[in-house]
A and B are shown apart, each in its own frame.
Chain A
Amino acid sequence: MSAPRQVNPAAAAELFIIQDQIHEPMHDRFLWGAMQRRHAEAAAIPEWEELREIASKIKEHTLTHLDHYLEEFEANATKRGAHVHWAVDATDHNQIVYSILQGHSVKELIKSKSMLQEECQMTPFLEHRGIKVIESDLGERIQQLDDQPPSHIVFPAIHKTRQDVAQLFARTIGTDPNNDDPHFLTEVMRNNARPRFLAAGAGMTGGNFAIAETGTFMVCTNEGNADIGAAVPPLHIASMGIEKMIPRVEDMGVFLRLLARSAEGAPLTQYSSHYTGPRKGGELHIVLVDNGRSRRLGMPDFWHSLKCIRCGACMNTCPVYRRSGGLAYGATYSGPIGVILDPTFDEFKYSELPFHSSLCGSCSEVCPVKIDISDQILKWRRVMAEKGYLPLAKRLSFAVAGHVFAHPAEYQLVEKAAEPAMSYAPHFLMYNHTLNPWIRDRELPRPAKQSFREWYLANRSEHGNVQQ
């Protein structure tokens, strides 16, 4: 097996930005729009910040008693007639799903959106074994037809224009390539999906939350696609990470008030569906998946990332994500949450991701479960530096910076030298895209006439004992 190569998000982001004048500004605008709707919804709830704090604490409580709640969930779900399976890793998960399908002679599976199933690479696994897998969420189906992974955990095809989708449907479904009306395109997919729902031998969903108290899991969608998949075929398989546990039914009120508001600025998704055991005449299997999560629980700096409820607010607010597009991260999870999740799967492959951030901290501010995302990004940078995974350019410049910051006299010298350099350096040098791709379209701040140290000595030195 060849060694996995490091992903290069900055280079991929640059391609997204320079492809034309349309995609990147559109992407930026749509996600910022979702963020503004989120802010309006949050501002309308007086106890919003308190809800975030409660949600954070409930998740921490559950995660620090995870074994207990998993056992409680399993006992209650089993009592209600569900079959509960446990998967140690991705292959295990895929194998379990395949065995269930095989046991029912299922040839066609209709599934709703699931980041876990993406993480496990389930679809190629099943298709390789002769099972046809159809995504039923519109955005996911667009991405599946285009042979791309989702670029956003809530809006999978948000990086595509309506023309892109019209062309794709023309190529794959045979519709008019010039009709790019979103209403038309949505109708095409509705009519395309209906026969699949009716023909599928099994429906598959993920799970947004699992309630230990009752053995219930719940799924949120706007399209109702998960519900059709669960309600029509005789067999329903749901897989979810072990971190989805919630202790009690009452706790759900907190999470559902936060989730859709954070994700898209709506009070709820159109459908918030709760499954407790199989429906009348149906069969239900639940696969609980570890795939590195229990190990992450033991990482003092990083276990809080397990609190994530996959709303995508950190992505929508992130200035780097909005300009990069999700595919630039080259990983299952993109944006700030991806930056801190992906390295837990493969530190070397994703060693560049923690540097794909401005560390502005906005992600931590909007996270509905108060994950310290930006702090974790910084901590991952330290991990990558200690492991020696930094690319040469960063290693050298960081080494110089480290030396300079450790020696105050040299810092002052460098600072004085940099001032005129920044003021007078030719624009083409400061804004060289090859040397620094991030500089495109971004103006550096004007250097101050006076350094902070000079200002302090002139104005405040009588209060302190400043060594000259």
Chain B
Amino acid sequence: MEMSNSNRETILRSIRANLPSTGVQHPGIRDFGRPAGALKAMFEQRLKEAGGAAHDVGSVAEAASKLRLLHPDAKVICSAVPEIAGTRRVEKVRDPHELADVDVGVVRAQFGVAESGAVWLTQEELVVDALGFLSQHLIVLLDPKQIVPDMHAAYRRVRLAETAFGCFMMGPSATADVEATLVHGAQGARTLNLFFL
């Protein structure tokens, strides 16, 4: 677009004319050295504070029955993981609008972050991004060995250049916009249950 090109030059020219005279060096980020161990307990505690819940499940069968126990009335269970069949496979979804009726979405996270209780989900795990946000409830699978201590470690692990979408998801949707009262299920998932599997 021609107008956009001239805008671009106008802005860059103005920036160059106004740049502060002394450039500041990038400070670098040192290793803050987090002790390993007890990451799972910290992760579980933080997830709970964020409104989510973690469950130890011993097997795929136990995961499936736990899901039914948590969501006995669920009609549409859309799964993105091989372990849980669900009633709909997300790979079959052509358009995100088709996910409007999903009661429970099931997805596996790449890893969790102990300092927040957040999990890292990308387009590759979700298959259709909207699965993570239109589903009324979410079940997230996480290998308990895949927990990093903090956000520094987390950003060393993400591959942003290789995925169009990635999200640190910390528990279910929340708002405190009415009288600073915490309410879960504002627009995204109402609940988030995490299975260590």
Contact = CB atoms under 8 A, between A and B. Distances in A.
| Interface size grouping (class) on chain B | 35 or more
Contacts of A303: 20
B179 A270 contact: no
Given A198-B97, A230-B129, A270 B15 contact: no
Question: Which of A60, A139, A222, A279 neighbours the largest number of chain B CB atoms within 10 Å of its CB?
Answer: A222
A67 B177 contact: no
A437 interface: no
B175 A222 contact: yes
Given A53-B27, A138-B186, A271-B188, A250 B7 contact: no
A101 interface: no
B178 A252 contact: no
Interface string A68-108: 00110000100010000111100010001000000000000
Interface stretch (B60-68, B71-79, B81-89, B151-159): B151-159
Interface string B105-134: 000000000011110000100001110111
B164 A88 contact: no
Contacts of A60: 24
B11 A88 contact: yes
B18 A298 contact: yes
A64 B178 contact: no
B27 A271 contact: no
Contact of A300 (B20, B32, B161, B167): B20
Contact of B180 (A30, A231, A277, A297): A30
Contact of A67 (B19, B130, B152, B186): B19
A187 B196 CA distance: 30
Contacts, number: 268
B144 interface: no
A123 interface: no
B26 A61 contact: yes
B36 interface: no
Given A230-B129, A250-B29, A276 B163 contact: yes
A281 to B, nearest CB: 8
A190 B155 contact: no
Nearest to B5: A86
Given A254-B29, A279-B123, A66 B19 contact: yes
Question: Which of B1, B129, B179 neighbours the largest number of chain A CB atoms within 10 Å of its CB?
Answer: B179
Contacts of B130: 228, 231-232
Nearest to B165: A279
B132 to A, nearest CB: 7
Question: Which of B150, B175, B185, B189 neighbours the largest number of chain A CB atoms within 10 Å of its CB?
Answer: B175
B26 A138 contact: no
Interface of B: 1, 4, 7-8, 10-12, 14-20, 22-27, 29, 32, 46, 50-51, 95-97, 100, 115-118, 123, 128-130, 132-134, 150-156, 158, 160-161, 163-181, 183, 185-189
Given A64-B24, A288-B11, A298-B19, 19 more contacts: A26-B179, A66-B15, A86-B8, A155-B177, A161-B179, A182-B178, A185-B178, A186-B186, A222-B176, A225-B188, A227-B167, A242-B11, A250-B29, A254-B29, A267-B50, A267-B170, A270-B188, A271-B188, A279-B129
User: Which 5 A-B residue pairs are closest in the complex by CB-CB distance?
Assistant: A224-B188, A298-B18, A139-B177, A223-B186, A267-B116
